[in-house]
Amino acid sequence: MSKPNQSENIAPSASGRQSQPTVCVFCGSQPGTSPSHLAAARGLAQALHANNINLVYGGGTVGIMGEVAKTLVSLSGPQAVHGIIPEALIRYERNYVQNGSEKVDPQKVIDEKTFGRTTVVKDMHTRKQLMAKEVIEGGVGGGFIAMSGGYGTLEELMEVVTWNQLGIHAHPVVVFNVEGYWDGLLQWVRKAVESGFIAQNNSGIMAEATSAEEVVEQLRDYRNAEGRFKLKWVRSEGPPNQSPSTDNIPGFQFSSGGTRKPANIPLHTLSSAARRHSRRGSDESFDEKAEDRRRLRRSSGSFDNDDDDEYDDAGSEFSLWSDTGDLVDQLAAEEDPLAIRLRRSSEGHQSPQRRGRSKQKKVRYASGASQEKHSSGHRQRAGVVKKEDIYIPSPPSQRLGTGQKLLAAVMAPNDGPSRMHGLHGKKLIYFLSIFVSLGVFLFGYDQGVMSGIITGPFFKDYFNQPSRAEIGTMVAILEIGALIASLVVGRIGDVLGRKKTILYGAMVFVVGGACQTFATGMPMMMLGRIVAGLGVGALSTIVPVYQSEISPPHNRGKLACIEFSGNIFGYMCSVWVDYFCSFIENDWAWRVPLLMQVIIGGLLAVGSFLIVESPRWLLDNDHDEEGIVVIANLYGKGDIHNPKARDEYREIKMNVLLERQEGERSYADMFKRYYKRVFIAMSAQALAQLNGINVISYYAPLVFEQAGWVGRDAILMTGVNGITYLLSTVPPWYLVDRLGRRFILLSGAVAMIISLSAISYFIYIDIRITPTMVVIFVMIYNAAFGYSWGPIPWLYPPEILPLSIRAKGASLSTAANWAFNWLVGEMTPILQEAIKWRLYLMHAFFCAVSFVVVWFIYPETANVRLEDMNSLFGDATTAAPTPQTLAEAESLFSGNRSPIGSFRLGEQGEPVPDMDLQPPDVEIQDGKPMLNKDSDSQREGVGGWISNIVKRNKGDEANGSGKYKRVGQDEDDQ
């Protein structure tokens, strides 16, 4: 559709009060099959907020209606949105039945804090009347926007188009054409023009836009069509400034000077062209006043049109809106568009030239210069959203539950504020981190418990001396269930929330543990292992995500390492339980260890009612009131007015809104855009398993038996190894946020290479000291793994993945863990028999591969906020960070995040970053070739590449430490 080419002035409110531009959005109450429709609704709300435009809409809370309303409320507050809904329709709102009252109270049905003000009217016509009235009174900058919708949306759109053609209003009418939704309607307009049913000069009444930014541009640049009837609709009775009422609509009379009156149309018409012409002839100051008004509007930063002198009071006296029907035909004798155009032509009137459609824009933040320009009060341009403008709810205070009081009494007996208002701050964060670590405790316990059971005589006798292949299948089949759960729990966690997913995962694990404990045969044991695997897979996926989302940036690594210590503590406990139960002389020697995991799983399930929900999940699902309360408890000392809590709320909400703009991410989109992050998340878990940890975790007694320790002594050595393993996980608590993730992974890989090689060597030579040396190097290996490749692969995925794909990406990462976990668990008994000591050399080789992958690909993420990972990877959304966030992200790097900072998988160009094998840049001086000094900063060749890497690793000497600086919250405040 071509852009309309006639501009008319739209007057402010008839009441004379200060008005704010308002748009009326017609849209469907369904979300549509494509996520682009909801994404477009969110983008439109952000553009309206950026331009200080209010919204009036049909009042629904679902579909596109609800999405545009709640998004704008979250940005501009409830006062910016007004929903008008007929009484018959509000009875279908999802909260109406819960209200239970015969008299409809909109505030009880539709939450004002989420969807804005709501007015219930008696019928559809009254709704359209009031919506149009608000647009008219809003003045310049407002208009009517049609998004995707059904019959009702099309009917409302056609009515305001007709009203525009008749001169009932002079406001823009814009169709937001998402994925070609309105292509058929626009094609119909063209066909109607070709067939002679719509005049060519009326074909541009509807302006088309394909993005939220273009919608705002169309509102600003709209030109009314030349072929409009230009009728003037005014009152004939009642006070001139009286606002219309839905209950008492004043009457109208038709008093045109013509002889033909439209039947049953209670309206008064007057030729707008003649009215304008006569007024100009009698009032010489008209042009001066119009020019003053134009200057006033421009100085206030509002949208301006080129022909502000037309209809200076158009739309200021509306009180009745009715179905127009064939009103055009009835008024044809009164107003002939052709005659009007001829008069204009004779008066030397020239229409303004059409403007070409602006180039589509992506939503972005204002640059520093732009912000300075608008700091004096000018309205921001489309797409410029300021974090400081995000609306923060103020929920009422709530009474503490019994569980919360008990928790505060146990965790903070001497802390008065905690006893009164509940646990908060550092105490709450550490409690949550330690408690949810029970989820990974079960993971570790289940890993270790089978290692002692499978060597016990009562277990072997009960299951008829199972073969190594049967034992391998029984041990590894848990990974099948875990793999399945990890693939689906990401979506479940996004829908149900992190808290409920932890609860259900614990319950499933309890069922699986009970099946194992009371197994009567191998099939029941296998079933219990699979069901327990479903629970372990769910917990091992969702707990790291939950952990990363509640942790402050400077403590995120420490808390994740504490979580992993829970895993190893579970492993160690299982081994020692196996050892002490080995003294039982019946089948309870293997049943008691399995029963213990049922008890721990039940404790996690019951305690999950006491933990808080993830604040990022709450804000992502528009539970803003609960979200600000949780954020205040975690970071703001329990005070929702705490500046740190409010800033954190805005930071998270801003990130949520930016990611929503692009719609829900599918797995295909995730691999396409965030391929590097997904590769790091999955490879970290895969390499952790290929590095050989499960050879020790699942089969440590068999390894020690292979080295010369027999029977109960093998289990004892496994228990001693478990203690060493647990102790090795403590140093990362204090080092992971200081030394960084990369250094820990690299140093751990080197230590594991040496240990595995030594184990292989001593088993091969088989001398007197072999058993002792194998135990020593197994402990060194476990310590190296527990310090590095144990915790970091669980920390990396949830912290590097953006919120929109965090649960999905963590699912894939955990699925990779379980897939390779199963592979190693299944193959280890077979390979131990087939290749013997060479098995450990194979895993040493994978440790070397891990070193290379980390060195070249993994960036440093220590002390980087989750919301700043976009800047770190450079693959973020189309919405760039705010200037404030950009400045903070820039300050993150005192040194360098990686010696190979720009290596991107799958991109064309240099096969290895910073390595250029082209001939060096030389010049001839005194007959001798000399290196060009100007090219010294980028040295060529292999030697130059190594030099560049060394220089990168040293970082900027002026910055000192070569590490990330802490950003955001200070440890002292926690």
CA distance 712 to 583: 9
Q: Which two tokens stand for residue 783?
A: 């310590």
Least confident of 311-320, 482-491, 862-871: 311-320
pLDDT at 902 over 50: no
Choose among 131, 144, 141: nearest CA to 206. Answer: 144
| pLDDT per position as a tens digit, 939-961 | 444 444 444 444 444 444 444 33
To the question of domain 417-871 being in CATH 3.40.50.2300, the answer is no
Q: Is the pTM of this model over 0.85?
A: no
Delimiting residues of CATH 1.20.1250.20 domain(s) in the chain: 417-871
pLDDT at 840 over 70: yes
- Indicate the SS3 state at residue 918: coil
CA distance 341 to 664: 50
Give the model's confidence band at 923: pLDDT under 50 very low, under 70 low, under 90 confident, else very high. Answer: low
Least confident of 245-254, 508-517, 728-737: 245-254
Give the model's confidence band at 258: pLDDT under 50 very low, under 70 low, under 90 confident, else very high. Answer: very low
Mean pLDDT confidence for 15-44: 84
Residue-level pLDDT at 862: 83
| pLDDT per position as a tens digit, 693-752 | 877 765 566 666 666 666 677 777 777 877 888 888 888 888 888 888 899 999 999 999
pLDDT at 808 over 60: yes
CA distance 636 to 644: 6
Report the greatest alpha carbon distance in the chain.
Answer: 123
Residue-level pLDDT at 531: 94
| pLDDT per position as a tens digit, 663-697 | 556 677 778 788 888 899 999 999 998 988 877 76
Give the model's confidence band at 973: pLDDT under 50 very low, under 70 low, under 90 confident, else very high. Answer: very low
Mean pLDDT confidence for 13-38: 79
The residue with greater pLDDT, 970 or 535, is: 535
Residue-level pLDDT at 618: 92
Residue-level pLDDT at 451: 73
Strands 143-146 and 173-176: parallel
The dihedral sign for the CA sequence 606, 611, 616, 622: positive
Mean pLDDT confidence for 45-67: 91
Residue-level pLDDT at 391: 83
| pLDDT per position as a tens digit, 787-806 | 899 889 988 888 888 877 77
Residue-level pLDDT at 357: 37
CA distance 812 to 805: 10
| pLDDT per position as a tens digit, 394-425 | 887 777 777 777 777 777 666 656 555 667 78
Cβ pair 484, 537 in contact under 8 A = yes
To the question of domain 22-346 being in CATH 3.40.50.450, the answer is yes
Give the model's confidence band at 22: pLDDT under 50 very low, under 70 low, under 90 confident, else very high. Answer: very high
Give the model's confidence band at 91: pLDDT under 50 very low, under 70 low, under 90 confident, else very high. Answer: low
Delimiting residues of CATH 3.40.50.450 domain(s) in the chain: 22-346
- Per-residue three-class SS string for 335-391: CCHHHHHHHHHHCCCCCCCCCCCCCCCCCCCCCHHHHHHHCCCCCCCCCCCCHHHCC
Tell me the pLDDT of the chain averaged across its residues.
72
* E strand or H helix that includes residue 8: none
pLDDT at 9 over 50: no
Residue-level pLDDT at 482: 87
Give the model's confidence band at 232: pLDDT under 50 very low, under 70 low, under 90 confident, else very high. Answer: low
Mean pLDDT confidence for 825-852: 87
Q: What is the DSSP string of 812-865?
A: HHHHHHHHHHHHHHHHHHHHHHHTTTHHHHHHHHHHHHHHHHHHHHPPP-TT--
| pLDDT per position as a tens digit, 456-480 | 888 888 988 888 778 877 877 888 8
| pLDDT per position as a tens digit, 538-578 | 998 898 889 888 888 777 777 878 888 888 888 888 888 88
CA distance 468 to 474: 10
pLDDT at 847 over 70: yes
* E strand or H helix that includes residue 319: none
Mean pLDDT confidence for 872-901: 46
Residue-level pLDDT at 599: 94
| pLDDT per position as a tens digit, 137-175 | 888 889 999 999 999 999 999 999 988 888 888 889 999
The residue with greater pLDDT, 793 or 231, is: 793
| pLDDT per position as a tens digit, 292-344 | 544 444 444 433 344 433 334 333 333 334 444 344 444 444 444 444 444 44
| pLDDT per position as a tens digit, 583-624 | 888 989 999 999 999 999 999 999 898 899 999 899 988 898
CA distance 98 to 104: 12
Residue-level pLDDT at 753: 95
Residue-level pLDDT at 104: 53
Mean pLDDT confidence for 435-444: 87
The residue with greater pLDDT, 852 or 388, is: 852
pLDDT at 120 over 70: yes
Residue-level pLDDT at 899: 37
- Looking at the chain, the whole-number percentage of residues with pLDDT higher than 70 is 65
Mean pLDDT confidence for 831-836: 82
Least confident of 44-58, 498-512, 866-880: 866-880
